[in-house]
Every structure is written in structure tokens, then in C-alpha cells.
Amino acid sequence: MSRVGKKPIPLPSGVKVTIGETMLVEGPKGKVTVPVPAGITVERLDGRLEVRRNGDQFAALHGLTRALTANAVTGVSAGFTREMDIVGIGYRADVKGGNIILFTLGYSHPIEFVLPQGVDCKVDKQTHLILSSHDKQALGQVAANIRALRPPEPYKQKGIRYTGETVRKKVGKTGAGGK
């Protein structure tokens, strides 16, 4: 049996779950829908959720559904955060209007990045971004899209990276002429 799928999901107080073809998880931070595939059943038992499958052919969906459900419950109760750093001289970010981030990343023009509904951003010292959301998938996608604006490069270490990400430094050209 799936090791991930058979773990029960504790329901914190204030989280409401509606089980059907798709599961709706509502909490103080927002609401998230989770698809429930055929062959998988979700049951509520005294303050926790149990995910079960109808046969071994649904083993992969069993663990996936349980993981998505656990992420939805955690997201609507506590939320998720992702921190990013901007490294480089003159590189910075500013929040404009609440849902637009204005990046200056060494290009000939500033870049406006529009945040989707449900994802918030705070900027500390113009070089540290804190993204937060109740939807883990949307948060990860926004963070990946922001990182893709100027990925960290291995020679001068400049670019946008996740906090704690290490970029392996490469040695540049040595300058020994070929004349």
C-alpha cells in the first residue's frame, strides 16, 4: 500500500471540507479545490481525513490525492511562503499597486510582473522578496516565473535565486593570449 496515501490528514479548527467529485477545502486564508479521481475515496473520521483506494491499479493516484489534499489543508490554515533574493549591482524590485512587481534587472527596460489572484508579495530592502499564498502550486509557479526573468548565472553569480539556493561558481577565461 502507498506509504504516503495511508497517512491520515489532521483537520485544524476552522477548516471546512466539502467532499464530492472535487473536494473544496475552505479556511481562514482562502479556498482550494482538489480533484478526486475515480477509484479514490476521501472520508472524514473524527477530526481527520482518510484517503482510500479501490484497488492496486490506483496506487499512484492514492498518494497524489493525499498529498494534494494535505497541501490544500495546510495552505488554507497556515499558508505557504517562498523567499527569493536578487543579487547584482543595480538589480532591485518594488511593489506597485499591490499586485504588480517592478523589476530592474540590468535590461534596457524595467519589467512589470503581474501577480495572479491569491499570491501576495512583500519586498525587503529592494533585493529580498517574500511571496505568500494559500495555493502551493500557484506559489511555486509564480516563484519559477520570477526566477526565469533573470536566472542566476554561474560566472558572476548575478540574478534572481531562491533564498538558500547555492549556485556553483565557474571559472572564467584566464586571459592567456593565443598570439
Q: What is the DSSP letter of 108?
A: S
Question: Residue 178: its pLDDT value, please?
Answer: 56
Q: Does position 79 have pLDDT exceeding 60, yes or no?
A: yes
Q: Give me the phi and psi of 58, to 5 degrees please.
A: -105, 20
Question: Residue 130: its pLDDT value, please?
Answer: 92
Q: Does position 174 have pLDDT exceeding 80, yes or no?
A: no
pLDDT digits (tens, 9 = 90+) for 117-164: 888 888 988 889 899 999 899 999 999 999 898 888 888 888 898 888
Q: Which three cell numbers stand for residue 94?
A: 518594488
As to burial, measured by CB atoms within 10 angstroms (0-12 exposed, 13-18 middle, 19+ buried), residue 16 is exposed
Question: Residue 140: its pLDDT value, please?
Answer: 92
Residue of 176, 144, 174 whose CA lies nearest to 160:
144
Where do we find the cell 554561474? Answer: 154
Q: Per the confidence metrics, is the pTM higher than 0.85?
A: no
Question: Residue 107: its pLDDT value, please?
Answer: 86
What mean pLDDT is reported for the chain? 87
pLDDT digits (tens, 9 = 90+) for 39-66: 888 888 888 888 888 888 888 888 888 8
Question: Residue 139: its pLDDT value, please?
Answer: 92
Strands (E), the chain: 9-10, 16-18, 22-26, 31-35, 40-45, 48-53, 80-87, 92-96, 100-104, 111-114, 119-124, 128-133, 159-162
Q: Does position 175 have pLDDT exceeding 90, yes or no?
A: no
Question: Residue 2: its pLDDT value, please?
Answer: 60
Domains of the chain: 9-77 (3.90.930.12), 80-162 (3.90.930.12)
